């Protein structure tokens, strides 16, 4: 059922389930349920029919012929994937069935590790819970009784020695047991070095897992070694296999004439790229032609990676395995070998390149009147950086005032105007305009961070963002239009589900502390969230609330089933514009080509059989890459702070717990902890509802969002922690 139906349906669903759960062996007819729930109005009775139909369809309740409805008893055992929380407890995501998630207390984890596929025995549900009829969703609890498949075979950590025994302390805090290393399997590693340990066995909770060292990375605490350990922890491959390198090397540098004749030749069109200053893989180029009546033809030209990376090849298998390029502060781990990513596929200035182009005729209101999706060949006339384009937008002038430069400047100005029209239209139609700053670094010649730069969205970055969004949306809508008779068409959508209602309630309570409002009764539309974003814009807590709001959202994923994109407010959306660095975009290019050439029924079946697996893998690789990038940024942030021990900074309280407060140093985007044990001026009480620590004697409050001054006390690069102390202003 759609969330838009609102709290009446939600409340009614809860009431029906409570009734049937209390008497799981009994069946109830529709009239009995109506009477027992005290429903009188016709609208309530119609809603009940919808609820019963939905619960039966989703097999939460069972319809018994001639006897009505009854609750389906939960299975006693389930299989799923374990995630260990920071508190050391576990949550198992079940593989189908009625039970979706199971909570595992720490003492019942057995020999399972984070990421393992496990079998869980469910505990009996307390009768008190049923009697109380708690409205809060509660996970059933259970015990892991079998590890079916290890989620990892290797563990990255620091080698230590105690009383003659060697062991590895895992970097991953979700791995709660150290790994014992027999002396014969240390591979010469010394205490204090980062290592990769391979698990050998772990059969008893009375003992620690046993392993052997397979790689010594270097001295723990060295930022370069820590970055390498992040890559190893996330299984990021730093080199390409030989067969992949050989296949890439064999690809000709020149484009065959027969291939050029098959494509639309756009080499005379004024196209150019706009990218970060340090970019080397140029996925996309843009063009703009002005027509009569305020109409324009916007061209988005994307590297045609599918021409070079053929389905089933060694290059394709490796690209699928990697799923995405990973951008760490000091290096890039590409999805494709350099010959492709930085050369043959990259839309480099002055060189002929094969592309897939979306040519969209757009009116002055920003609506796409018509479009073409066609394979082309282009020649980028100029490689612009975001900084150069921003300067042109702000001044209307290029770097050199030749006639050619003036042509670029005029086109960029028109592009900027169009992008602003598209942005306003998108927001009117339900997109949420989250904006968050990112940390970038300037390094010395040894690769150590000497400056943290706070990167924000500019009009130049917004220009490219709007054009890519429009191209992706147009491609997804195109696939929807070519469906015939409602038949399923294999495709890769980028989908974003509606947020969990309970998380939105928590967000509403959170922002209320700062005097802002988010309406959640009756369901929350994306427009409500956008109104919240507009309320906080320009305030001291804008970045904090944006970040918390983003965490309240569901994760966007790849899927063959289109449910729309909640955050963008689009009914159809895909990702088509970055095939050099994202495998799903490469799949979209292949599917478009097959549709244009005529996809056979056999190929439709082949795609449908494997597309779900491809999408799940791509989504998992994307999340893995994002987590690796976050951890690597944290390494460099903490390394930077080593040079500032004793220095005082302005910050904002970004989190409050019973054991201390988290403070984000505003200009550096670095978060550190002020421990309660170090706050010796008073005894502090934790006010959970007010998100505050309150001094019992002084009544001094340290509340979420408050501005404070802090001194850097200590830094631990290995644990990626910064310890702070409060300073009186």
Strands 90-94 vs 77-84: parallel, antiparallel or unpaired: antiparallel
Burial of 285 (0-12, 13-18, 19+ CB in 10 A): buried
The CATH class, in words, for 645-727 is mainly beta
Angle between helices 314-322 and 601-641 (to 10 degrees): 50
Strands 331-333 vs 660-665: parallel, antiparallel or unpaired: unpaired
Angle between helices 459-481 and 386-395 (to 10 degrees): 110
Give the closest residue to 388 by CA, choosing from 459, 480, 289, 309.
Answer: 459
Q: DSSP secondary-structure letter at 256?
A: P
CA distance 235 to 219: 20
Are both 77-149 and 645-727 of the same fold? yes
Q: Where are the alpha helices (DSSP H) in 163-261?
A: 223-233, 242-249, 257-261
Q: 526 near 567, Cβ under 8 Å?
A: yes
Token pair 């709660």 is at which residue?
Answer: 176
CA distance 634 to 651: 17
Question: What is the token pair recorded at 301?
Answer: 């030209």
Question: What is the token pair recorded at 12?
Answer: 């009614």
The whole-model pTM stands at 0.84
| pLDDT given at position 404 | 62
Q: Give the three-state DSSP class for 705.
A: coil
77-149 is classed CATH 1.10.760.10: no
CA distance 109 to 89: 8
Spell out where 604-647 has E strands. none
CA distance 122 to 101: 11
Strands 493-495 vs 101-104: parallel, antiparallel or unpaired: unpaired
CA distance 101 to 103: 7
| pLDDT given at position 134 | 35
Q: 90 near 111, Cβ under 8 Å?
A: no
Q: 77 near 120, Cβ under 8 Å?
A: yes
| pLDDT given at position 522 | 58
Q: Give the three-state DSSP class for 581.
A: coil
Fold of 3-71: Arc Repressor Mutant, subunit A (1.10.10)
Question: What is the token pair recorded at 363?
Answer: 């009116």
CA atoms within 13 A on the CB side of 519: 10
Question: What is the token pair recorded at 621?
Answer: 């690789």
CA distance 541 to 707: 10
Classify domain 154-220 by CATH number: 2.40.50.700
SS (H, E, C) 73-117: CCCCEEEEEEEECCCCCEEEEECCCCCCEEEECHHHCCCCCCCCE
- Span 663-683, pLDDT tens digits: 999 889 999 999 999 999 999
CA distance 210 to 217: 20
Token pair 């505003």 is at which residue?
Answer: 666
Burial of 250 (0-12, 13-18, 19+ CB in 10 A): exposed
Sign of the four-CA dihedral 418, 419, 425, 428: negative
| pLDDT given at position 135 | 35
CA atoms within 13 A on the CB side of 261: 3
Question: What is the token pair recorded at 11?
Answer: 């409340």
| pLDDT given at position 368 | 97
CA distance 547 to 553: 10
For the chain, give every domain's residue range: 3-71, 77-149, 154-220, 242-491+574-629, 645-727
Give the closest residue to 725 by CA, choosing from 707, 711, 714, 715.
Answer: 711
Instruction: Give the residues of the chain that fall short of pLDDT 70.
Output: 1-8, 59, 73-75, 97-98, 125-137, 397-404, 484-487, 521-524, 729
Strands 382-385 vs 272-275: parallel, antiparallel or unpaired: parallel
CA distance 345 to 356: 11
């Amino acid at each position: 059922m759609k969330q838009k139906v609102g709290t009446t349906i939600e409340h009614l669903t809860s009431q029906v389930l409570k009734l049937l759960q209390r008497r799981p062996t009994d069946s109830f007819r529709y009239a009995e349920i109506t009477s027992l729930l005290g429903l009188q109005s016709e609208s309530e009775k119609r809603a009940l029919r919808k609820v019963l139909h939905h619960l039966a369809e989703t097999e939460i309740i069972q319809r018994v012929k001639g006897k009505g409805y009854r609750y389906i008893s939960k299975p006693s055992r389930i299989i799923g994937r374990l995630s260990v929380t920071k508190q050391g407890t576990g949550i198992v995501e079940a593989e189908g069935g009625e039970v979706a998630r199971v909570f595992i207390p720490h003492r019942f984890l057995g020999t399972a590790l984070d990421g393992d596929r496990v079998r869980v025995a469910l505990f009996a549900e307390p009768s008190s819970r049923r009697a109380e009829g708690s409205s809060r969703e509660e996970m059933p609890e259970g015990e892991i009784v079998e590890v079916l498949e290890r989620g990892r075979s290797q563990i990255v950590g620091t080698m230590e020695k105690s009383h003659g025994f060697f062991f590895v302390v895992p970097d991953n805090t979700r791995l709660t047991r150290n790994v014992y290393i027999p002396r014969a399997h240390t591979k010469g590693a010394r205490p204090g070095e980062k290592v990769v340990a391979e698990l050998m066995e772990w059969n008893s909770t009375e003992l620690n897992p046993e392993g052997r060292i397979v790689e010594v990375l270097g001295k723990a605490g060295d930022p370069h070694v820590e970055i390498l350990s992040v890559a190893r922890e996330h299984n990021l491959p730093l080199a390409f296999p030989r067969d992949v390198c050989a296949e890439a090397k064999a690809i000709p540098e020149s484009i065959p004439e027969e291939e050029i004749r098959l494509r639309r030749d756009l080499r005379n069109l004024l196209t150019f790229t706009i990218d970060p200053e340090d970019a080397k893989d140029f996925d996309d180029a843009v063009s703009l032609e002005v027509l009569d009546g305020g109409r324009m033809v916007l061209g988005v030209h994307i590297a045609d990676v599918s021409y070079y990376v053929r389905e089933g090849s060694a290059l394709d298998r490796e690209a699928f395995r990697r799923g995405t390029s990973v951008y760490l502060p000091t290096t890039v781990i590409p999805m494709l070998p350099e010959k492709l990513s930085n050369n043959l596929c990259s839309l480099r200035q002055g060189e002929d390149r094969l592309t897939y182009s979306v040519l969209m005729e757009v009116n002055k209101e920003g609506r796409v009147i018509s479009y073409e999706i066609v394979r082309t060949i282009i020649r980028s006339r100029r490689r612009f950086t975001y900084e150069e384009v921003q300067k042109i937008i702000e001044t209307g002038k290029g770097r050199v005032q030749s006639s050619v430069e003036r042509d670029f400047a005029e086109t960029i100005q028109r592009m900027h105007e169009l992008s602003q029209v598209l942005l306003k239209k998108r927001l009117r139609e339900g997109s949420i305009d989250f904006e968050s700053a990112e940390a970038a670094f300037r390094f010395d010649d040894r690769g150590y961070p000497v400056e943290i730069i706070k990167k924000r969205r500019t009009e130049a970055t917004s220009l490219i963002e709007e054009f890519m969004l429009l191209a992706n949306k147009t491609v997804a809508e195109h696939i929807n239009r070519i469906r015939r008779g409602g038949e399923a068409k294999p495709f890769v959508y980028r989908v974003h589900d509606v947020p969990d209602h309970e998380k939105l309630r928590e967000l509403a309570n959170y922002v209320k502390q700062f005097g802002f409002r988010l309406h959640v009764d009756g369901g929350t539309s994306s427009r409500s969230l956008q109104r919240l974003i507009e309320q906080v814009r320009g305030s001291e807590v804008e970045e904090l609330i944006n970040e918390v709001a983003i965490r309240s959202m569901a994760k966007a994923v790849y899927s063959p089933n289109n449910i729309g994109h909640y955050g963008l407010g689009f009914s159809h959306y895909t990702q088509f514009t970055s095939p050099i660095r994202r495998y799903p975009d490469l799949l979209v290019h292949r599917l478009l080509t097959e549709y244009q050439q005529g996809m056979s029924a056999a190929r439709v079946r082949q795609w449908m059989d494997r597309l779900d697996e491809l999408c799940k893998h791509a989504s998992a690789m994307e999340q893995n890459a994002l987590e690796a990038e976050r951890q690597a940024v944290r390494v460099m942030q903490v390394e930077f702070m080593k040079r500032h021990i004793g220095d005082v900074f302005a910050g904002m309280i970004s989190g409050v717990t019973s054991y201390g407060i988290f403070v984000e140093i505003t200009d550096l985007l670095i978060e550190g902890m002020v421990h309660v044990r170090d706050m010796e001026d008073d005894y502090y009480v934790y006010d959970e509802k007010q998100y505050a620590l309150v001094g019992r004697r002084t009544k001094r409050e340290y509340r979420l969002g408050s501005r404070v001054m802090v001194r850097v006390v200590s830094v631990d690069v290995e644990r990626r922690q910064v310890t702070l102390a409060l300073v009186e202003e």
